[in-house]
């Protein structure tokens, strides 16, 4: 009786080992593929994607939108960061919220400053383009009239 039972057990072990080895090879192949292409995705998934909103940051630092300037943000940050120091009986969670609030507001101010600079640059560029178009219209008209006159004298001439 141990003969047929031993054979069944051996067949189950061989079949199980074959399944496990195929699964291991498939998992290893997938890991190699992920290592080649998935590094950027892994970095993105590991970084914090949810930022604190400006409204929440203003609430955390007890500020209004009118008070949103770098010195006032720094004052409120120092006040709340110190008062929530874990070594003084404060909360690390609240201290980190205060830190993220300051970070979010500084980022908002930087983006607003960049946007303002871009708008100024675009306004200056459009003013320069308008000025060039206004002054260049007469010169362009004169050149096309000159070309028309030259075409009547044997075709357009190439200037080298």
Give pLDDT tens digits along the chain (160 positions).
568 888 889 899 999 899 989 998 898 888 888 777 766 666 565 555 558 888 999 999 999 988 888 999 999 999 999 999 889 898 899 999 999 999 999 999 999 899 999 999 999 988 888 888 876 544 444 444 454 445 455 555 555 4
- Would you call 72 exposed, middle or buried from its count of C-beta atoms within 10 A (0-12, 13-18, 19+)? middle
Nearest to 95 by CA among 50, 87, 58, 71: 87
Domains and CATH numbers, the chain: 54-129 (1.10.287.110)
What is the rounded CA–CA span in Å between residue 118 and residue 110? Answer: 12
Q: Phi then psi for 158, rounded to 5 degrees?
A: -95, 130
């Amino acid at each position: 009786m141990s003969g047929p039972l031993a054979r069944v057990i051996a067949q189950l072990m061989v079949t199980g080992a074959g399944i496990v080895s195929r699964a291991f090879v498939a998992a290893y192949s997938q890991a190699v593929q992920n290592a080649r292409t998935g590094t950027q995705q892994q970095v993105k998934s590991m970084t914090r994607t949810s930022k604190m909103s400006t409204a929440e940051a203003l609430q955390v630092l007890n500020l209004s939108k009118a008070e949103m300037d770098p010195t006032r943000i720094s004052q409120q940050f120092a006040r709340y960061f110190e008062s929530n120091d874990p070594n003084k009986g404060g909360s690390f969670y609240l201290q980190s919220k205060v830190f993220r609030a300051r970070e979010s507001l500084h980022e908002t101010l930087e983006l607003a400053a960049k946007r303002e600079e871009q708008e100024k640059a675009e306004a200056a560029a459009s003013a320069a383009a308008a000025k060039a178009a206004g002054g260049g219209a007469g010169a362009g008209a004169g050149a096309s009239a000159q070309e028309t006159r030259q075409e009547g004298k044997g075709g357009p001439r190439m200037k080298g």
